[in-house]
Amino acid sequence: MPRFTLNINEIEYTVEAPERMPILWVLRDHLKLTGSKFGCGIGQCGACTIHADGIPIRGCCVPVKALEGKVLRTIEGVPGEHPVKESWRKFDVAQCGYCQTGQIMSAIALLDRKPNPTEEEINRAMKGNICRCGTYKRVKNAIEEASKNQIT
Amino acid sequence: MRYILILITLLAFGCKKNYQLTEAYDRGKEVYITNCISCHGSDGSGNLLYPAINSRVANAMTLERAVWVITQGSQNMPSVDLTDQEITDVLNYIQNSWGLETEVISIDSIISLKSTTKNAAIYP
């Protein structure tokens, strides 16, 4: 099986995996980074969202070969005192919590691109993350709060 | 003086299209990042599992077919739940990125295409 060198959360990992294996399987099964969740498997729910070069991607759709040489970041690489995580705690956003790692990764990517998003921009960027508990209102509030608190 | 006036008029006309396009392009880029980028890639080149959409061949796809694929899905691609405005923006983005350039698509043309493609599968 081919070997891949991946830069995840500023650590270099070498993994042996089929080149078509989606990165989510590599993260969860090979590297035991189980923060990113498996939801639908077809890129429709957003639970597996990670960053590749700062862009939010759905881990279940992207084969490991396509991510060689990119800077990957998973929820494990986001420090606990990150403004988005702080406001997530403040608004007590998570209910069952399964989708939340994906929500947070999408939110961070949005704030990196647009530090002061409008409501419309938040809705557009978070559309790919589905929450079965319906925490959307709190997610939006938390993003608005985080956009005020982030260090620029 | 006359030349300046002509110049201003020309600039005004020239900018109108660009202005429309820049707005749609920026919104379309956001739609693309949220809904398309995982499978089709940041440069539209796809990946091992999903097709490229940046080539002239892929862009030769008719608008009808593109709207059909987005609203109804195709093979491995599930349908994407986008508003008419989002479809317009993302198509404007795709057709004017990665070295491609096309006419600005209006939302009205997308709405009429949606109604004509509603009940019939359209193949490339």
Candidates A112, A120, A127, partner chain B, best to mutate (most B CBs within 10 A): A127
Q: Report chain A residues whose CB lies below 8 A from the CB of B39.
A: 43, 58, 61-62
- List the end-to-end C-alpha distance of chain A, in Å, as a whole number: 44
The reply to whether residue A61 touches residue B78, judged by beta carbons under 8 angstroms, is: no
In this structure, is the dihedral angle defined by the CA atoms of residues B84, B86, B92 and B94, taken in order, positive or negative?
Answer: negative
- Model confidence pLDDT, tens digit, residues B13-22: 554 456 567 7
> Rounded to whole angstroms, how far apart are CA atoms A40 and A24?
12
Q: What is the DSSP code (8-state) at residue B95?
A: H
Q: What is the pLDDT of residues A119-129, one digit of tens each?
A: 988 998 998 89
pLDDT of residue B115: 78
Following CA atoms A93, A97, A104, A31 in sequence, which dihedral angle do they give, to the nearest 10 degrees?
160
pLDDT of residue A74: 93
Measure the CA–CA gap between A77 and B48, rounded to whole angstroms: 27
| B52-88: b (≥16 Cβ within 10 Å) or e | ebbeeebbeeeeebbbbbbbeeeeebeebebeeebbb
Looking at residue B18, what is its pLDDT? 60
Kindly report, residue by residue over A44-82, the tens digit of the pLDDT: 899 999 999 989 999 998 999 888 889 999 999 998 888
Measured between beta carbons, which residues in chain B are less than 8 angstroms from residue A127? 34-35, 81
Q: Please state the domain extents for chain B.
A: 17-117
Quote the pLDDT of residue B121: 57
Q: Does domain B17-117 have CATH number 2.40.50.220?
A: no
pLDDT tens-digit series, residues B84-101: 888 888 888 888 888 777
pLDDT in tens, B101-115: 777 888 888 888 877
Determine the average pLDDT of the residues in B57-65.
Answer: 72
- The CA distance from B107 to the nearest CA of chain A, in Å, is 17
ipTM: 0.84
Binary contact (A55, B35; C-beta < 8 A) = no
Interface contact B48-A63, CB threshold 8 A: yes
Using the predicted structure, report yes or no on whether residue B5 has a pLDDT greater than 80: no
pLDDT of residue A103: 93
Q: Is A4 helix (H, G, I), strand (E, B) or coil?
A: strand
All structural domains of chain A: 3-75 (3.10.20.30), 83-149 (1.10.150.120)
Strand order in the sheet with A11-16: A11-16, A3-8, A71-73, A49-52, A55-58
**CB within 8 Å: B34 and A128:** yes
Backbone angles phi, psi at B67, to 5 degrees: -65, -40
